[in-house]
């Protein structure tokens, strides 16, 4: 049985997890980080409930906690946003994957944004105009062409169990403060800090030359080595 990580911080998200836990029960080993361990332990006792220690949800922790869990379980781990469980996990499509896959798997790139060079003109209702301009400038200052960076949709992903991911996490941590400061100082509708983490992941993967593939291509089983 594969392992799934969910983070549920705040009553809105703990209630969502309780509502949609039926899609996970007896199908995956569920690990939950939450600020309300007592409530979730009572309502979903089959899950491994752990305390999330930050007062505000930090989006980069999706990657940090999932990577830590791969080391603990010694196998690949699936992460999904708690609000997307009913979207992605009604079937076994993403739940069944080999525990020893070697690539990272994400859903897709950001809709309509094949590379980060287009973000200077990125206009959406939930972010102020030019929200990512200082981040693009940071990429340029580090001699990384934004055209080489794919902003990756960060709602669901699989992180493999391999020490090679350590370098990816190091690059992500270098960006954490920049992204978290952005979310605190610029207008956005997100309740947590560090949004845009899929852009950060695209950068970290490029910097480390770690291969990403899309979930539609995740293998259901590995071909035996003869």
pLDDT in tens, 104-122: 999 999 988 999 999 987 8
Number of domains in the chain: 1
DSSP secondary structure of the chain: --EEEEEE-SHHHHHHHHHHGGGTTTTSEEEEEES-HHHHHHH-TTSEEEE---SS-BTTHHHHHHHHHHHHHTS-EEEE-GGGHHHH-SSSTTT---TT--SEEES-BPTT-SSGGGGGG---TTB-TTTTHHHHHHHHHTT--GGG--PBP-SEEEE-S-TTHHHHHHHHHHHHHHHHHHHHHS-B--SSB---HHHHHHHHHHHHT--EEEGGG--SSPPPP-
Residue 19: inside a domain, yes or no?
yes
Residue 226: inside a domain, yes or no?
no
Residue 74: inside a domain, yes or no?
yes
Q: 13 Cβ partners below 8 Å, 6+ apart?
A: 7, 82, 83
pLDDT in tens, 12-71: 999 999 999 999 999 999 999 999 999 999 999 999 999 999 989 999 999 999 999 999
- Sign of the dihedral through C-alpha 56, 37, 33, 96: negative
Return the bridge partners of 34, or none: 8, 51
Residue 110: inside a domain, yes or no?
yes
Q: How far apart are CA 3 and CA 121, in angstroms?
A: 39
pLDDT in tens, 4-13: 999 999 999 9
Residue 224: inside a domain, yes or no?
no
Structural domain containing residue 118: 3-217
The enclosing domain of 14 has a CATH number of 3.90.550
Residue 222: inside a domain, yes or no?
no
Q: How confident is the model at residue 221 (pLDDT cuts 50, 70, 90)?
A: low
Residue 155: inside a domain, yes or no?
yes
> Mean pLDDT throughout 158-165?
97
Show the tokens assigned to 137: 């400038």
> Mean pLDDT throughout 74-96?
93
Task: Tell me what pLDDT residue 226 has.
Answer: 32
Residue 147: inside a domain, yes or no?
yes
């Amino acid at each position: 049985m594969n392992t799934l990580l969910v983070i549920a911080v705040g009553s809105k998200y703990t209630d969502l997890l309780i509502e949609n836990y039926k899609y996970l029960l007896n199908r995956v080993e569920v690990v939950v980080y939450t600020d309300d361990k007592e409530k979730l332990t009572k309502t979903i006792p089959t899950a491994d409930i752990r305390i999330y220690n930050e007062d505000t949800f930090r989006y980069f922790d999706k990657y940090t906690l999932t990577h830590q869990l791969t080391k603990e379980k010694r196998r690949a781990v699936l992460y999904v946003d708690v609000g997307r469980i009913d979207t992605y996990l009604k079937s076994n499509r993403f739940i069944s994957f080999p525990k020893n896959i070697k690539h990272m798997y994400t859903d897709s790139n950001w809709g309509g944004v094949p590379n980060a060079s287009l973000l200077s003109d990125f206009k959406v209702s939930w972010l102020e105009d030019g929200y990512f301009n200082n981040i693009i400038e940071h990429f340029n200052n580090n001699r990384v062409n934004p055209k080489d960076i794919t902003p990756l949709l960060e709602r669901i992903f699989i992180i493999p169990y391999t020490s090679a991911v350590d370098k990816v996490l190091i690059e992500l941590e270098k960006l954490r403060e920049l992204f978290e400061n952005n979310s605190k100082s610029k207008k956005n509708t997100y309740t947590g800090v560090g949004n845009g983490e899929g852009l950060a992941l695209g950068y970290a993967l490029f910097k480390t030359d770690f291969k990403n593939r899309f979930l539609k291509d995740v293998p259901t089983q590995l071909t035996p080595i003869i």
